[in-house]
Every structure is written in structure tokens, then in C-alpha cells.
């Protein structure tokens, strides 16, 4: 691993431990040349996933982009970072274990919507407004009606 401070290729691992719900390994490293300390994370990647965009273009799957999407939808909402990480890890695990190497952006978007529905209603509406390309106030009303119907179904099931 290259040192981010001096660029040396000779860094040493000082500590390793599981991180993020045991889906990755956190490593503390030190550079013997400059003494700089930094942290890296290793994650198992089952297969190289490609995202098939609406335009037909293909792009490598980017886990960080998925995390950013969650964080944007959940901005200023009371949801723990750990819950976000579990949701993202779950989506990535499902995508990697699907057996497909090309996943449509629509499929990823649907999985994000499902995850946000369980995390936070406001974030769900925010994401849905972009994902479903809302253009009128009625679009918001329809999604809020869906949420209210779900809430009433859940409360009668208890």
C-alpha cells in the first residue's frame, strides 16, 4: 500500500480488525520512511460488477457512489451511519450473489428505494422524487399515499 503522505511503497500493517459488520477489514498502517499513520479498509469482492445505464453505456459498479446516494437522501435525518452501512452492504451482497455481471441502474435504484423505505420515510420520498422523475405535486401526493397505506396496514397487522 502506497503511503498517502510521501508516496513510499513500503508501508507496514500495525493493527488489523474486522470492521463494518464484519464485511471488511480495517488496517492501521505506518510508513517507515516518513512515520505517517493511516487507515485502510479491505473488502471482499466476489465479482466485477458493471452497471448498465439507461443510455446503454456501461460503467463499473461503485460502492462509494451507492453510499453517497444514501447519504444525500438521508441528509439531516436521524439514521445511524451503521444502519446505512448495513443497508449498502446488503444491496452489494445481493447484487454480487445474483450471478449477473451486468446490473441495470434501474435494479439498483429499486433496491435503494426498498432499503430507504425501511430506514426513513422522508429519505424514501426524496430518493423517489429523483428516481421516478417527479414533475408535479401530485407525484409527491401519490408516494405519500403509498406510505400512509403501508403504515395503516402495518398498524392493523399488530
* Nearest-angstrom CA–CA distance, 125 and 32: 50
Per-residue pLDDT tens digits for 86-102? 899 899 888 888 888 89
Mean pLDDT of 122-149: 80
Partners of 25 in the beta sheet? 18, 42
Of 97, 94, 92, 88, nearest to 68 by C-alpha is 88
Residue 133 confidence (pLDDT): 74
**pLDDT surpasses 60 at 77:** yes
Residue 68 confidence (pLDDT): 93
C-alpha cell at 111: 433496491
Residue 38 confidence (pLDDT): 94
Q: Rounded to 5 degrees, what angle do the CA atoms 47, 49, 50 make?
A: 155
CB atoms within 10 A of CB 40: 15
Mean pLDDT for the chain overall: 85
* Buried-exposed string 114-151: b where 16+ CB fall within 10 A, e elsewhere: ebbbebbbbbbbbbbeebeeeeeeeeeeebeeeeeeee
Q: How far is CA 107 from the centre of its chain?
A: 14
Residues 6+ apart with CB under 8 A from 14: 28, 29, 30, 37
Residue 21 confidence (pLDDT): 64
Residue 45 confidence (pLDDT): 59
Per-residue pLDDT tens digits for 8-67? 999 999 999 887 666 678 899 999 999 999 998 887 655 688 999 989 999 999 999 999
At residue 125 the predicted structure's pLDDT band, cuts being 50, 70 and 90, is confident
Amino acid at each position: 500500500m502506497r503511503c498517502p503522505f510521501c508516496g513510499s511503497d513500503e508501508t507496514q500493517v500495525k493493527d488489523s480488525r474486522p470492521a463494518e459488520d464484519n464485511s471488511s477489514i480495517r488496517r492501521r498502517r505506518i510508513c517507515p520512511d516518513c512515520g505517517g499513520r493511516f487507515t485502510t479498509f479491505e473488502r471482499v469482492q466476489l465479482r466485477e460488477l458493471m452497471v448498465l445505464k439507461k443510455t446503454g453505456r456501461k460503467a463499473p459498479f461503485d460502492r462509494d457512489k451507492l453510499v453517497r446516494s444514501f447519504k444525500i437522501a438521508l441528509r439531516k435525518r436521524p439514521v445511524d451511519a451503521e444502519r446505512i452501512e448495513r443497508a449498502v452492504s446488503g444491496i452489494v451482497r445481493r447484487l454480487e450473489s445474483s450471478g449477473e455481471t451486468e446490473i441495470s441502474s434501474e435494479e439498483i435504484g429499486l433496491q435503494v428505494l426498498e432499503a430507504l423505505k425501511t430506514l426513513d420515510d422522508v429519505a424514501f420520498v426524496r430518493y423517489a422524487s429523483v428516481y421516478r422523475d417527479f414533475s408535479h405535486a401530485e407525484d409527491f401526493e401519490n408516494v405519500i399515499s403509498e406510505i400512509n397505506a403501508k403504515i395503516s396496514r402495518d398498524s392493523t397487522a399488530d
